[in-house]
Structure 1
Amino acid sequence: MDQGPSTRRGADLCSLRCGLAVVMHLSNLTMITQRVSLSIAIIAMVNSTQQPAPANASNASTDGPPADALGDSSRSSQGFHTGTSVYEWSPETQGLIFSSISYGIILTLIPSGYLSGMFGAKQMLGAGLLLSSLLTLFTPLAADLGVVLVIVIRTVQGMAQGMAWTGQFTIWAKWAPPLERSKLTSIAGSGSAFGSFIILCVGGLISQALGWPFIFYIFGSLGCVCCLLWFTVIYDDPTHHPCISVREKEHIVSSLAQQSTPHRRAVPIKAMVRCLPLWAIFTGFFSHFWLCTIIITYLPTYISSVLHVNIRESGVLSSLPFVAASTCTILGGQLADVLLSRNLLRLITVRKLFSSLGLLLPSLCAVALPFVASSYVTTIVLLILIPGTSNLCDSGFIINTLDVAPRYASFLMGLSRGFGLLAGIISSTATGFLISQDSVSGWRNVFFLSAAVNMFGLVFYLMFGQAEIQEWAKERTLTRL
């Protein structure tokens, strides 16, 4: 029979599925550093006579802060490593470069999710990570060859990362027991927050010490190393892994017995369109990404304009919220699984509880920000709490597709991510427009609008969210009379 709780917990920490979560954590960390690398490097890449891309550019990207968010117009390029190329890129050109990766991600989210379910997520994710890493290594050369090539590189890199991101959920549909999904996916997902922290902290130092090309060389090489680890360790199905223990294999297979997906069939698009629980998930993604994108894109700008700190302090302060985000993601996943494994709350209750915390708490912090702008400490605390509490959604609607339609988890996660990226593009444009009118009232309206969007998403999810497998997602069993 089963061993005691402590013994089982120790075994789980050393399990192969936990090792997969760690490898996926490193992969997500690598991809986010590659995505944000240009946002840091462009400060040194552009000619000092050119103004960096304004924070209110309508095509602000969701992949990192605008150029002027980490620098100022008076900063001389001589402060960086001398011997590296400098380019005459206008603010409009910089904005187009930043936004290109987001459009690339959108282009592949849905098809890559579908294809990974058909041909294997290991190959799709590994290929996406490898392509993104190679393109990162090639970026300095592309910059020398022309800005058009840089835009093409960033767009294709976005397509590769979209392909890699959605493939993860096909793997978890076969590897994660229902009572461990929150924990495993939160460990993997926290890599993005931790990667943002790393690149914001060390990107400027690398540029000053070695030259901006080494930002791409270092994190591109790191991605190639992760690819070797990925293709060596990861398998699509636990039943085919050569190193998995019999006990772990039986545990995973038995826990997923009622959610097996042995046969492939066409995606039931009509049933999905009519499914309100799915629309509740999509609405949650839209609301969640609206505020998160503003924080990722405009946080350094807000800190610089409101707190009036220098570039070094701005970079360090901008990285702190991502430490909180990474921590809350992991702790939230652990707590969610404890509530489920001990039968303290039903699955749908856990999903709605963490969705409520992840949308309500950051909204309250955002609404409070304009009223505490005069307090340095309070402002920093609230800015740290916004992404930290927002990531509690990782144990809510973000993994809810694994509950309602595990057979199509990868496809639906790609579609959900598309709604999130759409929200990011809209929120970036709206934020730029609002703060260009008036800085003080503009920021207040930005945070109020974000809170309103979050509340709409929360109410919709609480009304229509479910955690049972939908009829159209169940495996049809044929019987002979």
Structure 2
Amino acid sequence: MATKTELSPTARESKNAQDMQVDETLIPRKVPSLCSARYGIALVLHFCNFTTIAQNVIMNITMVAMVNSTSPQSQLNDSSEVLPVDSFGGLSKAPKSLPAKSSILGGQFAIWEKWGPPQERSRLCSIALSGMLLGCFTAILIGGFISETLGWPFVFYIFGGVGCVCCLLWFVVIYDDPVSYPWISTSEKEYIISSLKQQVGSSKQPLPIKAMLRSLPIWSICLGCFSHQWLVSTMVVYIPTYISSVYHVNIRDVTTALLTLSCGLSTLCQSGIYINVLDIAPRYSSFLMGASRGFSSIAPVIVPTVSGFLLSQDPEFGWRNVFFLLFAVNLLGLLFYLIFGEADVQEWAKERKLTRL
């Protein structure tokens, strides 16, 4: 009968040293980030996010000019004419751009599953998503100026041209994975592939969908993203019309400066709520980030419908009701996140080790 032989202390130490050397060889050696392919892709995604958000914003900035002007080249006037508001708040064209916006957001999260090393994924996502802030800031800052000096069609020509350039960059620069990328160095390719192999090798378990649906921290992230998108959609879609129709202020004046500042400060939520999935479930961060962004994209669809209904039902106090609803939605999202939000890895997201008895 065969018996199991015990290793001597010296042999056991030698074996442990060999295992440590093998483990060290599996650790990927980090390559410089400057002028690297992965950060170049993050920069391209930054500009894609820039043009996507900017084109959404200019639709609402130029809506005021299009309604108040009788010809494309006429300048914006400061008359007391009240802008007409239809059942969608006069801005029902805004949700039509959601399919393109959602495809870009979903596409870039899928890209980071193949391109983003786990230890750099949050930084790469932050670089890419910061283009939304820049796009909103730039469109509000110069959209009204271009409309008044050159005419509102030139706003679409300029930002549409930027969108065409970003589209060409996407077709030329963006590849599905580092293996098929022609301009990546061998060391960076090996670094990304080895990093992802370690992640894949330790996460071959199915998605815990039921646990995710029952997780209050995940719902706090989703509601936080939803309330933030409700705020941004209201500011971008309705504030230009509100400023022009109620206060009769030209959209290039100082009230626009405050609008730019408010939109810029609101995007600071991206560094907290949107990246929180990396804290509670790093193994499923890509899936949860896409799911939370998808849930929050419902807000830009609901805002024009609900706000337009409030404005059409009560012309005198319609704007007050719109802003009260905005306050209620954001307060609810904030309280839910403060109560149920967490920063620790959830039990269902931890690594499970199989043991044999």
TM over 0.5: yes
Distance 1:462 1:249, change over 3 A: farther
Report the equivalent of 2:211.
271
Q: Which one of the candidate residues 415, 435, 448 is aligned to 2:291?
A: 415
Report the equivalent of 2:132.
192
- TM-score computed with the length of structure 1 as normaliser: 0.53
Q: Which one of the candidate residues 170, 175, 182 is aligned to 2:110?
A: 170
Per-residue deviation at 1:28? 1.0
Per-residue deviation at 1:258? 5.9
Per-residue deviation at 1:296? 1.0
Report the equivalent of 1:222.
162
What is the CA RMSD across the aligned residues, in angstroms? Answer: 4.3
1:205 equivalent to 2:81? Answer no
Q: Deviations over 1:356-404 (max 9, x none)?
A: xxxxxxxxxxxxxxxxxxxxxxxx3xx4443233211111121233444
Per-residue deviation at 1:31? 1.9
Distance 1:252 1:454, change over 3 A: farther
| Partner SS, residue 300 of structure 1 | helix
Q: Deviations over 1:306-341 (max 9, x none)?
A: 543224438xx53x4xxxxxxxxxxxxxxxxxxxxx
| Partner SS, residue 295 of structure 2 | helix
Q: Deviations over 1:31-66 (max 9, x none)?
A: 22343454456xxxxxxxxxxxxxxxxxxxxxxxxx
Structure 2: stretches of 5+ with no match in the other structure: 1-30, 76-83
**Which structure has the larger Rg over C-alpha atoms?**
2
Report the equivalent of 1:453.
329
Q: Deviations over 1:389-436 (max 9, x none)?
A: 321111112123344445554543343234323334444444445566
CA contact (8 A) 1:170 1:409 kept: no
Per-residue deviation at 1:282? 0.8
Distance 1:301 1:98, change over 3 A: closer
Distance 1:250 1:459, change over 3 A: farther
| Partner SS, residue 77 of structure 1 | coil
Q: Deviations over 1:91-150 (max 9, x none)?
A: 659x49954663xxxxxxxxxxxxxxxxxxxxxxxxxxxxxxxxxxxxxxxxxxxxxxxx
Mapped to 1, the partners of 2:180 and 2:343 lie a distance apart of 29
Mapped to 2, the partners of 1:288 and 1:29 lie a distance apart of 18
Distance 1:308 1:202, change over 3 A: closer
Q: Which one of the candidate residues 244, 251, 270 is aligned to 1:394?
A: 270
CA contact (8 A) 2:42 2:128 kept: yes
| Partner SS, residue 108 of structure 2 | helix
Distance 1:465 1:252, change over 3 A: farther
Per-residue deviation at 1:469? 4.9
Mapped to 2, the partners of 1:296 and 1:225 lie a distance apart of 24
| Partner SS, residue 297 of structure 2 | helix
Report the equivalent of 1:16.
37
- TM-score computed with the length of structure 2 as normaliser: 0.68
| Partner SS, residue 260 of structure 1 | helix
Map 1:138-177; keep pairs closer than 5 Å: 154=96, 158-177=98-117
Distance 1:231 1:407, change over 3 A: farther
Distance 1:238 1:428, change over 3 A: same
| Partner SS, residue 49 of structure 2 | helix
CA contact (8 A) 1:173 1:409 kept: no
Report the equivalent of 2:12.
none
Q: Which one of the candidate residues 38, 49, 53 is aligned to 1:28?
A: 49
Distance 1:406 1:171, change over 3 A: farther
Work out the number of aligned pairs and report it.
318
Report the equivalent of 2:71.
77
Q: Which one of the candidate residues 290, 295, 306 is aligned to 2:235?
A: 295
| Partner SS, residue 253 of structure 2 | helix
Map 1:24-423; keep pairs closer than 5 Å: 24-39=45-60, 67-68=63-64, 70=65, 73=68, 75-77=69-71, 79-80=73-74, 92=86, 95=88, 98-99=91-92, 102=95, 154=96, 158-177=98-117, 180-200=120-140, 201-202=142-143, 205=146, 209=150, 212=153, 216=156, 218-238=158-178, 241-245=181-185, 248=188, 259-260=199-200, 267-305=207-245, 307-313=247-253, 317-318=255-256, 320=257, 380=258, 383-406=259-282, 408-423=284-299
Q: Deviations over 1:69-103 (max 9, x none)?
A: x4664x4326449xxxxxxxx9659x49954663x
Mapped to 2, the partners of 1:11 and 1:18 lie a distance apart of 10
Q: Deviations over 1:186-234 (max 9, x none)?
A: 321222232234444247737974773x655554443343233223333
Per-residue deviation at 1:274? 1.5
Mapped to 2, the partners of 1:476 and 1:101 lie a distance apart of 45
Mapped to 2, the partners of 1:461 and 1:240 lie a distance apart of 41
Relative contact order higher in (CA < 8 Å, ≥ 6 apart):
2
Report the equivalent of 2:5.
none
Q: Deviations over 1:149-208 (max 9, x none)?
A: xxxxx4xx5323312211212333444455644443232122223223444424773797
CA contact (8 A) 1:260 1:475 kept: no
Partner amino acid for 2:46?
H
Mapped to 2, the partners of 1:458 and 1:206 lie a distance apart of 37
Distance 1:471 1:457, change over 3 A: same
CA contact (8 A) 1:287 1:457 kept: yes
Structure 1: stretches of 5+ with no match in the other structure: 1-9, 42-66, 82-89, 103-153, 321-379
Per-residue deviation at 1:284? 0.9
